[in-house]
């Protein structure tokens, strides 16, 4: 078994309990010629003075990074030219700032007029003086810890938006909050779902995506498709927080009036199932792009709930608008077009991966297109105005389809991939060929730089035993079968690795790719000087490639995982590269904290402090004395209620939650129940399960974990032993998988 294989299994087993132009000067004051009266009103905001004009002309201010993808097109392309292929070797650390967490960091920073803003785990936001790294303020939305059980894939946040003096963040408990960019104080806050239903089992919404601001409206979706929610994207007035429009992505109960014609049309593709009872899914949990030319907001939708279509719609309908790219009018949210990447999805093939807009020369004609390297392994090129499919080809190996029919736009699915009666070792697996990790695009090379994943996942139907649950996942597959499947089929391929790939979207072919790292690889940044900056995920490396050839020109060690996409900015005539890092590679939940903002510049000479020597805790469970029946019952409860956070079969997969096999609570049922039934650690994310579990259930769960821990202690094979030293946590955004925790 290779190390990557080992790591992949560890990952499956989750955690336990728990330019050239100078930068604009700071916000312009009233013009010198202004009369006193003019100087009074309207005044520019004291910070984050981002306007429609500035965002629409972001290319004219290359020193800024004012929106998630650098500009509305989300190409993550910096026009700054000071750092180039020749001098990049002298790039060094200029400053760093520690966060107050050791959880995984996925936040893409913003840079506006001398200040870096960045979101971290638990939906917190920091503002740093970009010159010195001094913390200007920190905002904590105080997400209730127990909400962690409603979050599929880690306590992460991928980014924020800036507009007219405010910073906007979506929170894990699905609030949208406006923060005064100068003071760090809350300006307004709104629940993005019906707050009166927030205790309902089917209102397990969360937000990990970055908001975007378009024409004075904050665009935001949400997560929750692994549990059971109804997906939609909303637009809120940026000044007041009032809801401006909402577009649902799946139909509600057809016995009730449809919100619009599109929902009626979509409902006709859902067969005889009663999908609305578990929400339907289709969450908009990552990508959203504004096309200012066509005045459309485009976004991707996620999987259906449950994943297994047999449990959702036995008729096998297309189930619109799951796994689709949708465009709506920016002012009203009215439907414009859609393209469904994966009709009748049964593989968690969200179409939520990052998209970008570019102008390509296709057949001698310039076309404005939207490009998505999709989780399902196909890269799509769509006409931005109409959604017409212009090109589609697999950018990774795949075994579920053998191409896309360009007449119908539908994938040619291999029947066996639908795993009705026979398990299927899916490639790309539910981790996806491309997760939330942001692409870059260079209009100089005309290449897309894709953080690519090569990962298998055994799909095993659990249609016979599936029952909708108010707690835990609603997938209707046997998630725990990952262990037994590979145990029974030791020769079956089972990798999970990531690499950066340069793809030509005109010729539709790969141009180069980097070496692979374990698990997902990091988001990318392109520059006008032909550089690609990108992190190697759990490889802990932050590096720069030649955009044309893939030659590695510079690298540095980050002491932790590098997954978030970097940005570049200019301040006082100097170009910098900033990246948020963090993610346990040193040994999981108990390891020291290296989650930070790192800022690099030419001739930077700062060194990170030496890492703290760390010895992971050793297994020390009490003897296993429970009967096989009790352990089996505990295994079932564990799978239902614990595995989502703490990992399949009792083994942590990362750093967000502790490895329960190491818990001291195993030595006392009373102590165990204090946490599991009485909620003693709820503020740290471990909710009380008293409504779902009885004392005999928690005793069985404890017996199961003890049995697992003894098995691991006595058989220190990597698959079941203590977490390997290099185990990496992955959580992605919202619904993907590093296994459960990379947002899939
Ligand atoms: Ca998903």
- State the catalytic residue, choosing from 173, 180, 345, 348: 348
Within 80-210, strands assigned E span: 91-98, 110-112, 115-119, 125-129, 135-139, 161-163, 166-170, 175-180, 186-191
Fold of 628-732: Cytochrome Bc1 Complex; Chain D, domain 2 (1.10.760)
Span from the CA of 645 to the centroid of ligand 1 (angstroms):
16
Span from the CA of 226 to the centroid of ligand 1 (angstroms):
6
Cβ-based neighbour number of residue 432 at 10 Å: 33
List, for residues 474-506, the tens digit of each pLDDT value: 999 987 777 789 889 999 999 999 999 999 999
Decide if 459 contacts 422 (C-beta within 8 A): no
Q: What DSSP state is assigned to residue 617? A: P
For domain 36-602, which architecture applies? 8 Propeller (2.140)
Question: Which residues have a beta carbon within 5 Å of ligand 1, which is an ion?
Answer: 302-303, 348, 350, 735, 744
Span from the CA of 591 to the centroid of ligand 1 (angstroms):
29
Structural domain boundaries of the chain? Answer: 36-602, 628-732
Q: What is the predicted pLDDT for the residue at 522?
A: 98
Span from the CA of 667 to the centroid of ligand 1 (angstroms):
36
State CA 711 to chain mean position distance: 34
Q: What is the predicted pLDDT for the residue at 32?
A: 39
Q: What is the predicted pLDDT for the residue at 652?
A: 54
Span from the CA of 245 to the centroid of ligand 1 (angstroms):
24
Residue 408 exposed, middle or buried by CB count within 10 Å (0-12, 13-18, 19+):
exposed
Cis bond upstream, residue 42 (ω within 30)? yes
Q: What DSSP state is assigned to residue 304? A: B
Span from the CA of 355 to the centroid of ligand 1 (angstroms):
16
Q: Is 348 a catalytic residue?
A: yes
Gap between the Cα atoms of 324 and 225, Å rounded: 14
Domains 36-602 and 628-732 share a fold: no
Decide if 202 contacts 188 (C-beta within 8 A): no
Low-confidence ranges of the chain (pLDDT < 70): 1-42, 198-202, 584-588, 648-656, 683, 716-744
Task: DSSP for 352-363, please give it.
Answer: -S--EEEEEEET
Tokens of residue 280, six digits: 């339907």
Cβ-based neighbour number of residue 313 at 10 Å: 22
3-class SS of residue 158: coil
Span from the CA of 326 to the centroid of ligand 1 (angstroms):
17
Distances (CA, A) of 375 to 187, 277, 302, 317, 735: 36, 26, 10, 21, 11
């Amino acid at each position: 078994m290779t190390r990557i294989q080992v790591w992949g299994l560890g990952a499956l087993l989750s955690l336990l309990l728990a330019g050239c132009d100078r930068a604009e000067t700071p916000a312009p004051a009233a013009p010198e010629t202004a009369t006193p009266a003019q100087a009074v009103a309207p005044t520019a905001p004291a910070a984050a003075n981002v306007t429609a004009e500035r965002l629409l002309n972001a290319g004219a201010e290359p020193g800024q990074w004012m929106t998630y993808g650098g500009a509305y097109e989300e190409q993550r392309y910096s026009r700054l030219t000071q750092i180039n292929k020749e001098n990049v070797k002298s790039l060094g650390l200029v400053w760093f700032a520690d966060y107050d967490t050791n959880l995984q960091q996925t936040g893409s920073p913003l840079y506006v007029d001398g200040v870096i803003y960045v979101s971290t785990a638990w939906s917190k936001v920091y503002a740093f003086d970009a010159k010195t790294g001094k913390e200007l303020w920190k905002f904590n939305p105080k997400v209730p810890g127990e909400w962690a059980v409603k979050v599929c894939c880690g306590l992460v946040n991928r980014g924020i938006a800036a507009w007219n003096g405010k910073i906007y963040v979506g929170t894990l408990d699905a609030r949208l909050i406006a923060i005064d960019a100068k003071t760090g104080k809350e300006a307004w806050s709104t629940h993005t779902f019906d707050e009166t239903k927030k205790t309902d089992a089917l209102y397990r919404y969360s937000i990990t995506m970055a908001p975007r601001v378009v024409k004075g409206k904050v665009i935001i979706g949400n997560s929750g498709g692994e549990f059971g929610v109804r997906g939609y994207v909303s637009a809120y007035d940026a000044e007041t927080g009032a809801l401006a429009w909402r577009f649902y992505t799946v139909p509600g109960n057809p016995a009730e009036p449809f919100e619009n014609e599109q929902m009626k049309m979509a409902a006709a593709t859902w067969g005889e199932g009663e999908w609305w009872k578990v929400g339907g899914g289709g969450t908009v949990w990552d990508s959203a792009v504004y096309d200012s030319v066509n005045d459309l907001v485009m976004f991707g939708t996620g999987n259906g709930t449950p994943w297994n279509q047999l449990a959702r719609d036995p008729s096998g309908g297309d189930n619109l608008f799951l796994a689709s790219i949708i465009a709506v009018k920016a002012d009203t949210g009215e439907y414009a077009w859609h393209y469904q990447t994966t009709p009748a999805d049964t593989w968690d093939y969200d179409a939520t991966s990052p998209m970008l807009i570019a102008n390509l020369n296709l057949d001698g004609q310039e076309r404005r297109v939207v490009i998505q390297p999709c989780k399902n392994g196909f890269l799509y090129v769509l006409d931005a105005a109409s959604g017409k499919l212009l090109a589609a080809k697999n950018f990774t190996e795949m075994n579920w389809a053998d191409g896309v029919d360009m007449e119908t736009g539908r994938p040619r699915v291999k029947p066996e991939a639908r795993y009705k009666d026979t398990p299927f070792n899916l490639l790309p697996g539910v981790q996806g060929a491309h997760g939330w990790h942001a692409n870059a695009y260079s209009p100089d090379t005309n290449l897309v730089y894709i953080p690519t994943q090569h990962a298998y996942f055994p799909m095993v139907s659990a249609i016979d035993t599936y029952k909708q649950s108010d707690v835990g996942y609603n997938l209707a597959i046997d998630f725990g079968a990952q262990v037994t499947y590979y145990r029974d089929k030791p020769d079956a391929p089972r990798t999970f690795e990531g690499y950066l790939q340069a793809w030509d979207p005109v010729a539709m072919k790969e141009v180069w790719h980097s070496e692979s790292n374990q698990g997902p690889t990091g988001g990318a940044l392109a520059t006008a000087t032909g550089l690609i900056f990108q992190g190697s995920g759990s490889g802990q490396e932050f590096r720069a490639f030649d955009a044309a050839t893939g030659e590695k020109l510079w690298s540095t060690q980050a002491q932790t995982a590098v997954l978030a996409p970097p940005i570049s900015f200019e301040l006082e005539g100097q170009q910098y590269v900033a990246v948020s890092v963090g993610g346990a590679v040193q040994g999981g939940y108990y390891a020291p904290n290296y989650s930070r903002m790192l800022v690099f510049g030419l001739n930077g000479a700062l060194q990170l402090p030496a890492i703290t020597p760390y010895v992971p805790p050793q297994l020390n469970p009490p003897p296993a004395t429970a009967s096989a029946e009790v352990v089996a019952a505990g295994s079932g409860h564990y799978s239902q209620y614990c595995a989502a956070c703490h990992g399949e079969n009792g083994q942590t997969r990362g750093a967000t939650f502790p490895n329960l096999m190491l818990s001291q609570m195993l030595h006392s049922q009373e102590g165990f129940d204090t946490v599991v039934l009485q909620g003693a650690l709820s503020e740290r994310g471990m909710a009380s399960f008293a409504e779902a579990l009885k004392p005999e259930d928690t005793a069985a769960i404890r017996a199961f974990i003890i049995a697992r821990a003894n098995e691991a202690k006595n058989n220190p094979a990597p698959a079941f032993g203590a977490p390997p030293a290099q185990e990496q946590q992955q959580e992605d955004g919202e619904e993907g998988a590093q296994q459960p925790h990379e947002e899939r």
